[in-house]
């Protein structure tokens, strides 16, 4: 049975990539997408499918008929950090399960909202399964060997396309694990690289991927600078996130049909083995 999916955030690059991946993997991509009020267009042509763009000013009047026409709908959110919480409230209000790929927003309020209503969702700062596995590795290090890097200094640099409005959610999550090891390091200490010449020359981002990449470096140095450890993950393009997102949709759909609707994260998806 094909899963009805509504990808929100079109005509943004990530929304378009996820929508095309949904089609390629056989999901039923419905012809609607939530978008921002500032978007001029009312429609977007995605290959042969015409997507109607719904804005905050008109989505309430449309959603009832959409849910009637496309039962058991799952929303995928790749909108804007400023829309995270209001979109989540919209999904909860109308009983729509969702996968939140958008980073930023008030994450504590987001978690509290879905927990209060036991709303079926997958929420994660990163949808790439390999990065999720890396996060699990660092979390394991923090829980099992919390004093391994006592006295060391942490530095974190992340580079994303210049249009990314917020600090990487993945970097924040990994920093959280390092903080459990005693590092005096806050999210505000993460260095953001958004200048394209610096991305090319310093971060070694291929020019072809300046508009879509995620290059992260986590460095650990001893006090006397004689020992250096470095964890690095560099991703070019957006496809790996789109594939992981659709894995999350499949996982959430199966959880709902199994009578286990709940709030999950990508660690849960990874452990389930429901990964493409």
Residues recognised as catalytic:
160, 164
- Ramachandran angles phi, psi of 38, nearest 5°: -80, -10
- CA 174 to chain CA centroid, Å, is 14
Strands (E), 162-210: 191-193
The answer to whether the beta carbons of residues 79 and 34 sit under 8 Å apart is yes
Q: Which of the 8 DSSP states describes residue 235?
A: E
Hey, is 159 helix, strand or coil? strand
Sheet (strand 43-46) strand order: 32-34, 49-54, 43-46
Reading phi first (left if > 0) and then psi (alpha if -120 to 50, else beta), residue 190 is in: beta
Burial class (CB in 10 A: 0-12, 13-18, 19+), 216: buried
Hey, is 24 helix, strand or coil? helix
């Amino acid at each position: 049975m094909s899963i009805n999916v509504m990808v929100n955030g079109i005509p943004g690059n990530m929304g378009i990539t996820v929508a095309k991946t949904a089609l390629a993997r056989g999901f039923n991509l419905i012809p609607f997408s939530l978008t921002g009020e500032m978007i001029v267009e009312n429609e977007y042509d995605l290959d042969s499918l015409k997507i109607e763009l719904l804005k905050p000013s008109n989505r309430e009047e449309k959603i009832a008929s959409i849910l009637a026409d496309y039962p058991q709908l799952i929303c995928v959110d790749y909108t804007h950090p400023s829309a995270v919480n209001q979109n989540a409230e919209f999904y909860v209000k109308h009983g729509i399960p969702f996968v939140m790929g958008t980073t930023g927003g008030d994450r504590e309020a987001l978690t509290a909202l879905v927990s209060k209503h036991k709303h079926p969702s997958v929420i994660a700062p990163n949808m790439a399964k390999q990065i999720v596995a890396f996060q699990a590795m660092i979390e394991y290090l923090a829980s099992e060997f919390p004093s391994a890097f006592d006295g060391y200094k942490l530095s974190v640099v992340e580079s994303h396309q210049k249009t990314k409005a917020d600090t990487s959610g993945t970097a924040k999550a990994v920093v959280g694990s390092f903080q459990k090891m005693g590092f005096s390091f806050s999210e505000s200490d993460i260095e953001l690289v958004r200048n394209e010449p610096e991305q090319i020359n310093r971060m070694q981002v291929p020019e072809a991927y300046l508009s879509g990449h995620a290059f992260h470096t986590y460095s650990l140095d001893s006090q006397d600078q004689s020992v250096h450890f470095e964890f690095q993950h560099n991703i070019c393009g957006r496809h790996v996130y789109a594939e992981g997102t659709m894995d999350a949709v499949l996982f959430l759909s199966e959880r709902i049909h199994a009578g286990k609707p709940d709030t999950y994260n990508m660690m849960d998806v990874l452990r389930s083995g429901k990964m493409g």
